Amino acid sequence: MEELSRQKVFITGINGFTGVHLEKYLLEKGYEVYGTTLSETENRNHFPCDILSEENLFKILNSVKPNFVVHLAAISFVAASNKQNIYNVNIFGTLNLLEAINKLDYVPSKVLIASSAAVYGNVEGELDETMCPQPVNHYGNSKLVMENMIKSYFEKQNIIITRPFNYTGIGQEPHFLVPKIVSHFKENKSDISLGNIDVYREFNDVDYVVECYTKLLLSNLKSEVINVCSGKAVNIKHIINIMEELAGYKIKVSVNPEFVRKNEIKILKGSGNKLVEAIGDFSNEYDIEATLKKFYAN
């Protein structure tokens, strides 16, 4: 492996859920890590920058001159109320980044751009990259449009587009499912209101995802779209059962019809064949019970 101490990684959205974990992992591996934030910061390697400003992005990139770029900044909550902002940030923010990179006097070793498994839509079973995307919400659609626009940069830059499936961990916002469940147990609440709990979804550990991202940055892969998944679907009832064991009490679960999606599918997971071929399979090093234990203990 290259001498990592000289390698610079630039992360947009570095203080977001995934960015925090990725920065920590990369620093431990010996990289120099820089990134953008929306708010002011005391970290000299973090730069306040709205990704809707191509000029500011270029200035920062040109001063840092990173070897690798990881684009995480996005509106990631499906139920976000400002629809126009979802499209502005997820599409035009990404295009601004790529245009800024184009203006550099060198080509970074790899640009990894996080899309989402939401581009597949409401499809049953194991989803692979050859399937025709059918997004069912503005978030998924914005990511699909983003992907299509990115492909025109494939010849100019070394780009990988990732489609991560559900993942969770410490620091995820409380309106997401797993943090909501864990917080109820940490607060010793007697009941919880959820949607359909008799479904199976991937709930991978954020640490697994950042390890995948790092390995993909160092891989030979480029001009590709790739799932970041484990292929392991977990029943939501199982998550509740694990939490009941950890907390030492049973919780009353009520199903709120407002949280139940129409025509909800029972099993949804990703095919990791392409991922395993590129970086190997280490998903067995992570499991939902260990993830929940970390979450609950934090």
Which residue among the candidates 139, 153, 167, 213 is catalytic per the annotation?
Answer: 139
Distance (Å, whole) CA 216 – CA 221: 7
For residue 178, give the nearest of 252, 244, 236, 115 by alpha carbon: 236
Question: Cβ–Cβ contacts within 10 Å for residue 121, how many?
Answer: 19
139 is catalytic: yes
Residues 208, 144: contact at Cβ < 8 Å? no
Residue 208: φ, ψ to 5°: -65, -45
Round to whole Å and give the CA distance between 253 and 239: 12
Sheet holding 8-12, edge to edge: 46-48, 32-37, 8-12, 68-71, 110-114, 159-164, 224-228
CA 128/CA 47 separation, integer angstroms: 36
Q: State the catalytic residues.
A: 139
